[in-house]
Amino acid sequence: MDDHFLPIVRTVAALRAHLAIWRERKQTIALVPTMGALHEGHLSLIRMARAQADKVVASVFVNPTQFGVGEDFDRYPRDEAADARLLAAEHCDLMYAPTAADMYPAGFSTSIAVAGVSEGMDGDFRPNHFAGVATVVAKLLIQAGPDVAIFGEKDYQQLAVIKRLAKDLDLSVEILGAPTARANDGLALSSRNAYLSGAEW
- Could you list the residues that contact a second copy (CB under 8 A)? 12, 16, 107-117, 134, 138-139, 142-143, 164-165, 168-172
CA dist 113 and 200 (Å) reads 35
Q: Quick one: 33 or 41, whose CB is closer to a second copy?
A: 33
Could you give the CA distance from residue 197 to residue 189 in angstroms, rounded to a whole number?
14
Shortest CB 192 distance to a second copy, Å = 28
Using the CB atoms, write b or e for 44-66: b if 16+ within 10 Å.
bbbbbbbebbebbbbbbbbbebb
CB of 185 to a second copy, least distance (A): 37
What is the C-alpha to C-alpha distance for residues 45 and 5, in angstroms, rounded to an integer?
A: 19
122 close to 68: Cβ distance less than 8 angstroms: no
| Beta bridge partner(s), residue 59 | 33, 96
Q: Which active-site residues does the annotation give?
A: 42
* Residue type at 90 in one-letter notation: E
CB of 117 to a second copy, least distance (A): 7
Q: At what angle do helices 80-89 and 40-52 cross, to 10 degrees?
A: 40
Q: How near is the Cβ of 163 to a second copy at its closest, in Å?
A: 11
Q: Which is nearer to a second copy, 48 or 141 (CB)?
A: 141
The sign one gets for the Cα dihedral 190, 192, 198, 201 is negative
Q: CB-wise, 172 or 197, nearer to a second copy?
A: 172
Nearest to residue 176, comparing CAs of 142, 140, 138, 150? 150
Instruction: Identify which of residues 121 and 142 has a Cβ nearer to a second copy in the complex.
Output: 142
